[in-house]
Amino acid sequence: MWALNQAYHWQLMELLGMDVFICTEDLYKEPPIGVVNTALSVMAYDYPMEK
């Protein structure tokens, strides 16, 4: 019963724009492979590219 009620509340709406910043401090504290993994993870988000 809960799932039927929740489906009514989960209506599609217009998504807002989103900016993602990947901040790094030091090359030795944050290796480049970690930054690349973070960037690839963000690029894999299921979010419209035009937003």
What are the structural domain ranges in the chain? 14-51
- 41 C-beta neighbours (distance < 10 Å), count: 10
Q: Is 30 annotated as a binding residue?
A: yes
Q: Please state, in angstroms and rounded to a whole number, the distance separating the CA atoms of residues 48 and 51.
A: 6
Q: 38: pLDDT confidence band, cut at 50, 70 and 90?
A: very high
Its pTM stands at 0.57
Q: 7: pLDDT confidence band, cut at 50, 70 and 90?
A: low
Q: 37: pLDDT confidence band, cut at 50, 70 and 90?
A: very high
Q: Which of 23, 47, 50 is nearest to 34 (CA)?
A: 23
Instruction: Please give the mean pLDDT across all residues of the chain.
Output: 79
Q: Is 29 annotated as a binding residue?
A: yes
Burial class (CB in 10 A: 0-12, 13-18, 19+), 27: exposed
- Residues 21-33 have pLDDT tens digits of 998 888 888 888 9
